[in-house]
Amino acid sequence: MTLSAPGPSRNLPQYGALIAVLLANWLLFPDFFAIRLQDGRLFGSLIDVLNRGAPVALLAIGMTMVIATRGVDLSVGAVMAISGAIAATMTGAGWSLPAVLAASLAAGLLCGLWNGLLVAVLRIQPIIATLILMVAGRGIAQLVTEGQIVTFTSPALAFIGSGSFLTVPMPVVLTIVALAVTALLVRATALGLMIEAVGVNRLSSAGAGVNTPVVLVAVYVWCGLCAAVAGLIVTADIRGADANNAGLWLELDAILAVVVGGTSLLGGRFGLVLSVVGALIIQAMNTGILLSGFKPEFNLIVKAGVLLVVLLLQSPTLTLFLPRPKGARPIGTVKPPVAPTSGGAKP
Amino acid sequence: MTGALQRFLPLIVTTAVLVVGFLLCAAQFPNFASWRVVGNLLTDNAFLGITAVGMTFVILSGGIDLSVGAVIGFTTVLLAVLIEQGGWHPVPAFAVALIAAGGFGAAMGGVIHVFQMPPFIVTLAGMFIARGLGFVLTTDSVPINHPLYGELNDMALRFDFGLKLSLPALLMLGVVLAAVVLAHWTRFGANLYALGGNRQSAELMGVPVARTTVAVYGLSGLLAGLAGIVFSLYTGAGYSLAATGVELDTITAVVIGGTQLTGGYGYVVGTFVGVLIQGLIQTYITFDGTLSSWWTKIAIGVLLFVFILLQKGLLVVWAGRGGEPAEA
């Protein structure tokens, strides 16, 4: 394993939280773990959690890499809307599935390239750089659908949303594939190390020979691609594209999933699998609140509560008082009181 | 370039864009250049302007506040529930709403300071909490029928030459003026710029970092609460989904207004002009009638891009010849 693989003691809170939420669901709803096979596809509440959690999990995979470089991508929701709008509109116009998929993914790639160039070459702060596409992207998606909710009947595209492969629902399959490919790319090569280096200190990693612009662009492009796949899933699932609402606020859920997964917003060490676990925790809570008969209105408050608890556990102030696992550094360590940076020393 | 010109250049450019934009609109539509359009522009964007002032302060201090839209939504619901279901008089309801919103912001500021957490994620949690609380109160859109609402809505300052300033518009102008004084002629303002410029240096200079951080988020919450009151006056209802996305509109206004998102540099007046530019685009699209609403979003996105590039360009110029642009 590489340096960056989080030790078992660090993953414990996330897996513990997921198990706790699942057990709570089971207590509320004894059939929660029941899974049955019907028409060659698995059904059950647990499968439902995986299936519905897939879009956010996909976004979280891309977002993890971006956050590891100390960035953030606010545009993923809008990119989902664009990719969905293109897929639905082209399918409606009679294009074949490969062409539709290629166009949607290409759109995601272009969006990621745009974000990446703004961050890497123009050196714009990531929040602001991606805010541009977040604002304009939804407008572009509406431009594609001409403001309509475009529906389609093609079973080929719908398969991505509601079909299954070896009894596993397609969204889950796609998420697993994306996770595996991403993990292979960053953990089997030096890319993961470079991403973390850029996140910890962009200047010194550039000094150490890391081609920071290329790493940054690659990360944003990957995030755009993941968002495009998520957009395809959502569009295929509802057999239509709603440019106004597709992926709305999902960027926040994705960031939440990454943070719950333990990756610090200050960049550096990241955990891909943990981010997916974070997405599943969020989805399991949503499902649990629905199953328990609580009003779905409580959803946001519970989400905020979980977010605050996780943040508090990671907070440098609190970590100072907690026993530290051997070899682990507290996430987001407090800066020394006098920062020896050149920026601060200017008269 | 002289120092003053250099300092005010982003502000001058933003104002020039507003004036040129208005003249172009007026050239295309003869009815555009009327006091009525100006009055409506101020009234329609009053809640946005008030919120954006709070956001400017937060961003000047080097932070960000994603919760403002949710606080506006929560305030409208709280007012509707207190007035319509609780039978309260609007004035004490306003007071409670302002205290709740201000306290909420201050609490977020406290969490940000004490636990050293990124403002982005703390205020994101705040956004979830405020929206969630609004949902818990009621998910319906509750109309507010108190007679005072009608009276307040009829209140307006009318000028002889035809300009009519409604109560929301007056409130916004008042808030902007007060904010300019607060930012440039008080110790709080100086502390704010110092904190945003460099936190460590500010701390070493003796700026009360804790107090300033809590105060600036409290102020942002308070102004979002005031914007919520204005919004409920404007729509005559309370709805927990009201004002979604306003946090982004305000951040956009702040950026267009020339304030740097890294903190420490910017002007409240610029934000005000930024709000008016966004309103102008909206008004233009309404006047045109054939353009679809999504062009607003695309136009604002393009504008955002251009202004960020402009800021970057200026930074390079300031950094001197051949200097690497400062890390954002």
Using the predicted structure, report yes or no on whether residue A326 has a pLDDT greater than 60. no
Question: Domains along chain A?
Answer: 12-321 (1.10.3470)
Question: Domains along chain B?
Answer: 34-312 (1.10.3470)
Per-residue confidence (pLDDT) for residue B76, from 0 to 100: 95
List the end-to-end C-alpha distance of chain A, in Å, as a whole number. 46
Distance from CA of B201 to the nearest CA of A (A): 7
Using the predicted structure, report yes or no on whether residue A342 has a pLDDT greater than 50. no
- Kindly give the residue spans of alpha helices, DSSP state H, lying in B61-186: 68-80, 90-115, 119-137, 147-154, 167-185
Using the predicted structure, report yes or no on whether residue A7 has a pLDDT greater than 60. no
Structure tokens that stand for B246 in this block: 């306003």
- CA dist B266 and B254 (Å) reads 9
Phi, psi angles (nearest 5°) of residue A31? -85, 10
Using the predicted structure, report yes or no on whether residue B327 has a pLDDT greater than 80. no
Q: What is the mean pLDDT of chain B?
A: 88
User: Is A200's Cβ below 8 Å from some Cβ in B?
Assistant: no
Strands B164-166 and B156-158: antiparallel
pLDDT-derived band of residue A25, with 50, 70 and 90 as boundaries? Answer: confident
Contact status, residue A131 vs residue A137, Cβ threshold 8 Å: no
B304 or A82: which leads in pLDDT = A82
pLDDT-derived band of residue B319, with 50, 70 and 90 as boundaries? Answer: low
Q: Which residues of B277-314 are buried (b: 16+ CB within 10 A; e: fewer)?
A: bbbbbbbbbeeeeeeeebbbbbbbbebbbebbebbbeb
pLDDT (tens digit per residue) in A112-151: 999 999 999 888 888 888 988 988 898 899 888 887 888 8
> What is the mean predicted confidence (pLDDT) over A61-82?
93
Per-residue confidence (pLDDT) for residue B163, from 0 to 100: 85
pLDDT (tens digit per residue) in B124-158: 889 889 988 998 888 888 898 888 888 888 888 88
Task: Identify all chain B residues contacting A285, using CB atoms and an 8 Å cutoff.
Answer: none
Task: Identify all chain B residues contacting A299, using CB atoms and an 8 Å cutoff.
Answer: 132
Structure tokens that stand for A113 in this block: 């390239």
Mean pLDDT is lowest, of A27-41, A54-68, B60-74, for: A27-41
pLDDT-derived band of residue B93, with 50, 70 and 90 as boundaries? Answer: very high
User: Is B132's Cβ below 8 Å from some Cβ in A?
Assistant: yes
Per-residue confidence (pLDDT) for residue A318, from 0 to 100: 62
**How many interface pairs between A and B have CB atoms less than 8 angstroms apart?**
146
Answer yes or no: do B301 and A135 touch at CB < 8 A: yes
3-state SS, A189-228, equals CCHHHHHHHHHHCHHHHHHCCCCHHHHHHHHHHHHHHHHH
Per-residue confidence (pLDDT) for residue A117, from 0 to 100: 93
Task: Identify all chain A residues contacting B198, using CB atoms and an 8 Å cutoff.
Answer: 343-344
Report ipTM (2 d.p.).
0.78
Neighbours of A293 (CB within 10 A): 8
Q: Helices B90-115 and B209-235 meet at what angle, rounded to 10?
A: 150
pLDDT (tens digit per residue) in B2-38: 567 777 888 888 898 899 989 999 998 888 888 889 9
pLDDT (tens digit per residue) in A178-221: 999 999 999 888 888 889 888 888 888 888 888 889 999 999 99
User: Is B290's Cβ below 8 Å from some Cβ in A?
Assistant: no
Neighbours of B7 (CB within 10 A): 14
